[in-house]
Every structure is written in C-alpha cells, then in structure tokens.
Amino acid sequence: MSQDRNTLIGDVVLDMQGISLAFGGVRALTNISFDVREHEIRSIIGPNGAGKSSMLNVINGVYTPQEGTISLDGKEFSRMSSRRAAEMGIARTFQNLALFNGMSVLDNIMAGRSLRMKSSMLSQAFRTPGAIKEELENREFVENIIDFLEIEAWRKTPVGRLPYGLQKRVDLGRALAMEPRILLLDEPMAGMNIEEKQDMSRFILDVNDEYGTTIVLIEHDMGVVMDISDRVVVLDYGKKIGDGIPDEVRKNPDVIRAYLGADE
C-alpha cells in the first residue's frame, strides 16, 4: 500500500482479544486476538475449516464466544448480539446468498434500509406525509447505491433472474444500504469468473475509498487478498498463525506451510 493510503488508516475501531469458541467438544477458535483499524481493508485467510466464518459470526453477534472480549470504539463487550452489532454500524454479506429472489433489485436493497426507518408500521400503512417523505429519502439513497454498483439496468428485475455475479453485487448493495462503519464480507468472490472478480475487487476498493467504510474480508483467492488488503490475519485449525501486511504474511513460513503451499 502507498504511503498516501497508509495515512488514511485511523485508530483501532474493532479489537478482538482472546476469542475462544467451541461447539461441544470441537474448538472452532482458540485464543484469537487481532484488531481492525478505521478505513482499512483487513482480510482473514486460512484453509477450509480454519475458523474464518466463525470469527465473522462472533464479530456480528451470531455466535457468543466462551472466552474473550470484543471492543468497538473502546467499548468492551463479552458478547455482541446481532441487533446491537447492526445498530453500532456492522453489516454483513454471506457466502451463500440470502436474497429475496422474487423481489426486484431495488426492493432487495431497500430491505437493507429497515434499521434506518423511523416511521411506525402504522404510519407507513396509512401513508402519512412523514412516512412518504422518509420513504422517498431512503429510495434516493438506494438509487445512489444502484448507480454506484452499476446495476441501473436491472433495478426492476427480480434478483432470481440475474447472473450470479450481479446477485453478489445486489448483496453488497443491501449491506451498504445499512450505511455500515464496518462491513464484513464473507467470500464475496466465491463462484465468480475472473472478470466478475475484477469488478468486485474494484467495488470493494471503491466502497472503502468513497464511502470510507472499514472492511473485514474473508476470501480464498490469494491474488485478490494480497492486492487489496492493508493487513492480513491467518487462521489454521482455529488458531492464529500469522498477522501483518501482505508482504509479511506472504513470506511467513507457517502460512506457507499451512495455506499458500510453497515458498516461491
């Protein structure tokens, strides 16, 4: 990363300390500690079963660790509920898409604005002036996301009819509709061809740059990870075996043995 980019990265916004998670007798995570700085792209890599998705699930409150703490803006939690995470500005995309296939691109992304809606259900149902005004403001925000992700041509198309790469873009748009400070991306390139990966990499960088969003990324494509990440943490069998800038991680013997295959 360039010096100019390094100067944009701020203080620690998310700090995971001593996180351990077990399901019955199976330990998914063992004493994992790492932090995320404001405005950075922080990647988590490792072989299948390393604990990457479990870590994202801890961050956004799906799983509660048996040990360890999560600090957000210096405020410490022993557990994080999904609603609290969303209210504190953490949004998430998933490896397996959970879009509403029968709904349009616009309506899918509008669904991501639900936490931002202040009008009551009754006000919305009776179309009060305040509810109408709020809906128009939220729709304008969503239309800007659609323009940003270059999916204007499909805004009224049911999501189920779109190619997989465009569905992934809609999923990203729905997360952006929450206006997150921290965006968790779970394998956003999975199942994509080279051109789709290039497009998604560009959008991730643009989200980080133009929206100022801090990004925590799980991704198997090492070329993508090394190209777009500021720092990388490496997990293997639920333990941390590496942490640093891409060049450091690339040369780490433990990482080479566990994941990258061989030292070139």
Q: What is the mean pLDDT of residues 137-156?
A: 94
Check residue 47 and report its DSSP letter: S
Residues 6+ apart with CB under 8 A from 61: 79, 80, 81, 82, 83, 84, 85
Q: Provide φ and ψ at 243, rounded to 5°.
A: -165, 125
- Cα–Cα distance for residue pair 173/105, rounded to 1 Å: 9
Residue 128: enclosing H or E segment and its boundaries?
none
Q: What is the mean pLDDT of residues 169-184?
A: 94
What's the pLDDT at 222?
A: 83
CB 154 within 8 A of CB 162: yes
The residue type at 197: K
Q: What is the mean pLDDT of residues 219-241?
A: 93
pLDDT, one tens digit per residue, over 86-115 is 888 999 998 777 789 999 999 999 988 876
Crossing angle, helix 164-176 and helix 194-210, to 10 degrees?
10
Tokens of 255: 């990482």
Q: Are strands 239-244 and 231-236 parallel, antiparallel or unpaired?
A: antiparallel
Q: What is the mean pLDDT of residues 130-159?
A: 89
What's the pLDDT at 3?
A: 46
- Looking up tokens 């309506």, which residue turns up? 107
Query: How many angstroms separate the Cα of 167 from the Cα of each of 104, 137, 196, 256?
Result: 11, 24, 11, 33
User: Does the pLDDT value for residue 15 go beyond 50?
Assistant: yes
pLDDT, one tens digit per residue, over 198-224 is 999 999 999 999 999 999 999 888 889
What's the pLDDT at 42?
A: 98
Tokens of 96: 């397996």
User: Does the pLDDT value for residue 264 go beyond 60?
Assistant: no
What's the pLDDT at 1?
A: 47
Count the Cβ atoms, other than its own, within 10 Å of residue 16: 20
* Strand partners for 22: 27
User: Does the pLDDT value for residue 127 go beyond 70?
Assistant: no
Q: Where are the domains of the chain?
A: 1-89+182-188+214-264, 97-179
For residue 259, name the pLDDT band (cuts at 50, 70, 90): low
Q: What is the mean pLDDT of residues 66-79?
A: 89
Give me the CATH code for the 1-89+182-188+214-264 domain, please.
Answer: 3.40.50.300
Output the pTM of the full model. Answer: 0.88
What's the pLDDT at 257?
A: 86
